Amino acid sequence: MYKSKDVIFWGIITILMLLKSKKDYIRFCKNRKYFIYIVILSCIHIIIFFYMGFILGFTKSPYKHDILSIGKNIITQIIPILGIEITRCVIATRNKKNKLILSIITIIFLLIEIKYDVIIDIFPNKEELFKYICSTIVPLISCNILYTYLTLKGSYALPLVFRISKELLILLLPILPDTDWFVTGSIGILSPTIVYGLFKYQFTKERKDIRKKKKTMVSKISFWLAIILSITLICFMLGLFKYESIAILSDSMFPTYSRGDVLIFKKVNEEELKKIPENSIIIYKIGEQNIAHRVIDKKKEKGSVLYQTKGDNNNAPDINLVTTEQIKGVYVFHIKYIGFPSVWLYSYFNQAKTKVKTK
């Protein structure tokens, strides 16, 4: 949320830049088709964002929703956005062919939107700082590149429509998707990247000659395949499919799989949870830690099934029995080595020590 002084500053800048844009004959939108295009893409973004709530659940909005609060929040957020985008437009329009100036203004507006007080507060905490960079800073970089690009193609109308639609969604809805830092960062990067790609394709397509139709069709198919693969990968990483993955943090199951491997497991329903056979490898949680060990025995207590587990490389079984509520799924296969980046990050934040105790 912007502060009062920011609203006053950008309010003055907005008036000055509107007068400047009128003098320079900068139109609201150079092509109505592009304006409609960004409206449609903004609506799709809103639908996808809200749909995430049905998958991940909803949480109460941090904003008040009485009439006065809604009006205040809208003014506080929208006026700085107007000032930023109109200023970007005036500078970018006067320096269309100067890539250095365009790069500099993109960086400047990125730096303006970073919340430095938040960074100062969380700076000593390496994990929180990393999450903030992934969920906020990196998406801001993607968005500002998109905003500068859209400004050059359609004046300040295109980035304004995209930005304001997202802000109004957050300010007006009483409930919001309950997303963690990874989901927030993924959406924040993927959304502007897709919009940029679609516009880039559209502008490229218009410049191409008809005789290049076949080549254009191949590019179109490749582009949509890339989009589909990207969305599929994000959904897989978010655990929206029947299969999910985890990185292995220790050698407790060596030689079956090793530290740094990525394990793919299948989620199981309530009925399947009670019928997992011995010798299966199950993935279960202890606190925030995911464990993947082999079932060596099954026990029944008061109608509930409990599993005794053991790492293949451990000398003794795990001391605690695993309940069905802890189990996430059953091992299917693994991929060597590709999980090391996750392992290194985990180790960097001093969380790599296993919480599993053996007898």
29 and 106, same structural domain?
yes
> In angstroms, rounded to a whole number, what is the distance separating the alpha carbons of residues 134 and 181?
7
Q: pLDDT digit string (tens) for 39-93?
A: 888 888 888 777 777 666 778 888 888 888 888 888 988 999 999 998 998 888 8
- Spans in the chain with pLDDT lower than 50: 25, 28, 210-211, 351-354
For the chain, strand residue ranges (E) read 58-60, 175-177, 243-247, 262-267, 281-286, 289-301, 304-310, 322-323, 327-335
Residue with tokens 């970073």: 114
pTM above 0.85, yes or no: no
Domain harbouring 279, CATH code: 2.10.109.10
Instruction: Tell me which residue of 97, 123, 93 sits closest to 27, measured CA to CA.
Output: 93
Q: What pLDDT, on the 0 to 100 scale, is given for residue 111?
A: 93
The answer to the question of residue 95 being in a domain is yes
The answer to the question of residue 164 being in a domain is yes
148 and 10, same structural domain?
yes
Q: Which of 191, 207, 223 is the last residue of a domain?
A: 207
The answer to the question of residue 235 being in a domain is no
Q: What pLDDT, on the 0 to 100 scale, is given for residue 354?
A: 46
Q: What pLDDT, on the 0 to 100 scale, is given for residue 359?
A: 64
133 and 8, same structural domain?
yes
The answer to the question of residue 114 being in a domain is yes
For 139-198, strand residue ranges (E) read 175-177
256 and 201, same structural domain?
no
335 and 277, same structural domain?
yes
143 and 268, same structural domain?
no
The answer to the question of residue 20 being in a domain is yes
> In angstroms, rounded to a whole number, what is the distance separating the alpha carbons of residues 119 and 185?
16
The answer to the question of residue 266 being in a domain is yes
18 and 135, same structural domain?
yes
179 and 257, same structural domain?
no
Q: pLDDT digit string (tens) for 237-254?
A: 566 667 788 889 889 999
257 and 200, same structural domain?
no
Q: What pLDDT, on the 0 to 100 scale, is given for residue 22?
A: 64
> In angstroms, rounded to a whole number, what is the distance separating the alpha carbons of residues 336 and 343?
13
Domain range for 145 is 4-207
248 and 145, same structural domain?
no
* Percent of the chain as helix, strand, coil, to the nearest 5: 60, 15, 25
Q: What pLDDT, on the 0 to 100 scale, is given for residue 137?
A: 92
The answer to the question of residue 231 being in a domain is no
Q: What pLDDT, on the 0 to 100 scale, is given for residue 28?
A: 47
31 and 80, same structural domain?
yes
Q: What pLDDT, on the 0 to 100 scale, is given for residue 187?
A: 85
**Enclosing H/E stretch for 57:** none
Q: What pLDDT, on the 0 to 100 scale, is given for residue 32?
A: 72
Q: Which of 185, 207, 229 is the last residue of a domain?
A: 207
Question: What's the structural domain count of the chain?
Answer: 2
The answer to the question of residue 299 being in a domain is yes
263 and 165, same structural domain?
no
Tell me, rounded to whole angstroms, the distance of Cα 270 from its chain centroid.
30
